[in-house]
């Protein structure tokens, strides 16, 4: 959808700030462009909507060379949030949001309705915020107006230049979550610039890591974190990349251990036999609908008592849906001080994740990404490094 072909940009004073850049953002994809200050991120973005022109190479938008498209017509198809938001200070929030529809010649009523709808979408009540001026908003609220304004004419493509740059980490995370929710509904093609690797990893379907005007690595977040392409990338993503990677690696059914399973209404003696048979120290207890109830220790099962498991099982609160991140799994273990957590598919019990299995899952997924194969195809014995 947005395709860079050997793009180089040299400003008047000579040095190239973007060097022979080639990559593509596919339709409906969110690519984050991450790199240190001054490496050429904003310049890259501005060449897409022709706020600046490449010195050589070309950029295609939906197959069309942008240098052949009238800039005004081009920009109608591209929502743009400039670095530092850039709201018009003398216009209200509603008027700011309606800027592009207004420029496109929509009727006033229709533009205002659309603006109100978008403010709602980014979590700002138009009745409360619509008539305020930008200076009467917090930094985070201003950034939301910036995003609403970029979406106003429903462009298929968005260029977002550090849209959440000016807010504290808590508000930022909140805005990122809302933004991801929004993107799952609207599926725009997005080039998103940030210098924050955490943000790049959380939001990007793929990440382009910029060195000095050139891409050092272009891959899925998990690959960038697990198998950095160069010492520069490794350094940029940070020494704690293993931890960051936990947050982008999902729990898969193949990661799970299968302890003995007993039911609330099973006789205790049968449960004891099942545990004994497998030499297990505990069993998972399911209720009569097959939903997770808790667990039963071998010790409790071994009591010389009649009656069902029900009276001896303990409740288990530490569980997660399959597909949750390994980071969530780790954090749930810590929060419940649990040696394992149950993993469910809807209400169905799939198995348990233990710290050892979590570690294995991480190692396998790193190797799988490095070799571009599915995780289950990696034999743990063959895993090269963590
Ligand atoms: N109009 C211009 N004329 C000359 N040099 C420029 C111009 N705009 C940007 N530059 C230079 O080009 C380089 C890249 O700038 P750019 O704005 O693309 O960086 P960036 O990666 O977006 O940085 P930041 O993270 O600080 O926003 C910088 O060294 C900058 O000084
Ligand atoms: Mg910039």
pLDDT digits (tens, 9 = 90+) for 98-140: 988 887 788 999 999 999 998 988 889 999 999 999 999 887 7
Q: Which residues surround ligand 2, an ion (CB under 5 A)?
A: 41-42, 83
> Among 75-89, 207-221, 269-283, 316-330, which is the least confidently predicted range?
75-89
pLDDT, position 384: 57
Residues in the chain: 386
Going from the Cα of 221 to the center of ligand 2, the distance in angstroms, rounded, reads 21
Coil/strand/helix, residue 254: helix
For the cut 90, the answer to whether the pLDDT of residue 141 exceeds it is no
Contacts 24+ apart (CB under 8 A), 274-278: 275/301, 275/302
Going from the Cα of 142 to the center of ligand 2, the distance in angstroms, rounded, reads 18
Confidence of residue 386 (pLDDT cuts 50, 70, 90): very low
Confidence of residue 340 (pLDDT cuts 50, 70, 90): very high
Q: Are strands 341-345 and 78-81 parallel, antiparallel or unpaired?
A: unpaired
Confidence of residue 320 (pLDDT cuts 50, 70, 90): very high
Q: Which atom of ligand 1 is nearest to the CA of 83?
A: 27
* Average confidence score pLDDT of the chain: 89
Confidence of residue 224 (pLDDT cuts 50, 70, 90): very high
Going from the Cα of 51 to the center of ligand 2, the distance in angstroms, rounded, reads 13
Q: Which residue has the higher pLDDT, 375 or 360?
A: 360
Counting residues of the chain whose pLDDT is more than 90, the rounded percentage is: 54
Closest listed ligand to the CA of 161: 2
Q: List residues near ligand 1 (CB under 6 A).
A: 11, 17, 37-43, 83, 195
**Half-sphere exposure (Cβ direction) of 129: Cα atoms closer than 13 Å:** 26
Going by alpha carbons, the residue nearest to atom 18 of ligand 1 is 40
Residues 6+ apart with CB under 8 A from 115: 94, 95, 97, 98, 101, 126, 130, 148, 152
CA-wise closest residue to 202 among 181, 228, 233: 181
pLDDT, position 321: 94
Q: Which atom of ligand 1 is nearest to the CA of 44?
A: 18
Q: Which atom of ligand 1 is nearest to the CA of 41?
A: 21
Average pLDDT over residues 45-65: 95
57 burial (CB, 10 Å; 0-12 / 13-18 / 19+) is middle
CA-wise closest residue to 156 among 49, 45, 77, 46: 77
pLDDT, position 316: 86
Q: What does the DSSP 8-state code read for residue 58?
A: E
For the cut 80, the answer to whether the pLDDT of residue 365 exceeds it is yes
Q: Which of 75-84, 300-309, 332-341 is the most confident on average?
A: 332-341
Backbone angles phi, psi at 214, to 5 degrees: -135, 150
CA-wise closest residue to 303 among 294, 295, 312, 314: 312
pLDDT, position 183: 87
Q: Which residue has the higher pLDDT, 203 or 375?
A: 203
Residues 130-148 as b or e (16 or more Cβ within 10 Å = b): beeebeebeebbbbbbbbb
Yes or no: say if 196 and 35 are a contact pair by the CB < 8 Å rule: no
For the cut 60, the answer to whether the pLDDT of residue 177 exceeds it is yes
Beta bridge partners of 319: 342
Distances (CA, A) of 30 to 199, 204, 206: 12, 5, 7
Going from the Cα of 213 to the center of ligand 1, the distance in angstroms, rounded, reads 10
- pTM for this structure? 0.77
Q: Which residue has the higher pLDDT, 108 or 242?
A: 108
pLDDT, position 302: 86
């Amino acid at each position: 959808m947005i395709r860079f072909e050997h793009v180089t940009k040299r400003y008047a004073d000579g040095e190239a700030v973007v060097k022979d850049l080639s990559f593509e953002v596919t339709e409906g994809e969110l690519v984050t462009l991450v790199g240190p200050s001054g490496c050429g991120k904003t310049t890259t973005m501005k060449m897409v909507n022709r706020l600046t022109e490449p010195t050589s190479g070309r950029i295609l938008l939906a197959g069309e060379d942008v240098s052949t498209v009238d800039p005004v017509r081009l920009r109608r198809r591209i929502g743009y949030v400039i670095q530092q938001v850039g709201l018009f200070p003398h216009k209200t929030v509603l008027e700011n949001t309606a800027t592009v529809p207004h420029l496109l010649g929509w009727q006033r009523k229709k533009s205002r309705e659309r603006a109100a709808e978008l403010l709602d979408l980014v979590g700002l009540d138009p009745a409360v915020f619509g008539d305020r001026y930008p200076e009467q908003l917090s930094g985070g609220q201003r950034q939301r107006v910036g995003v609403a304004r970029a979406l106003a004419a429903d462009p298929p493509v968005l260029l977002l230049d550090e849209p959440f740059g000016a807010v504290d980490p808590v508000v930022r995370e909140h805005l990122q979550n809302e933004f991801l929710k929004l993107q799952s509904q609207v599926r725009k093609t997005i080039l998103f610039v940030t210098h924050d690797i955490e943000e790049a990893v959380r939001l990007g379907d793929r990440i382009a890591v910029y060195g000095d005007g050139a891409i050092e690595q272009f891959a899925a977040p998990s690959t960038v974190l697990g198998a950095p392409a160069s010492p520069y990338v490794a350094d940029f993503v940070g020494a704690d990349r293993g931890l960051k990677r936990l947050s982008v690696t999902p729990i898969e059914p193949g990661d799970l251990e299968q302890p003995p399973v007993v039911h609330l209404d099973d006789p205790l003696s049968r449960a004891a036999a099942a545990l004994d048979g497998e030499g297990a120290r505990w069993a998972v207890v399911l209720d009569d609908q097959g939903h997770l109830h808790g667990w039963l220790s071998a010790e409790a099962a071994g009591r010389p008592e009649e009656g069902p498991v029900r009276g001896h099982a303990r409740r288990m609160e530490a569980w997660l849906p399959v597909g949750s991140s390994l980071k969530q799994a780790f954090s749930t273990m810590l929060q419940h001080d649990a040696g394992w957590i149950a993993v469910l598919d809807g209400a169905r019990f799939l198995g348990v994740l233990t710290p050892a299995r979590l570690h294995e899952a991480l190692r396998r997924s790193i190797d799988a990404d490095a070799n571009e194969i599915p995780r289950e195809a990696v034999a743990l014995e063959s895993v090269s490094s963590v």
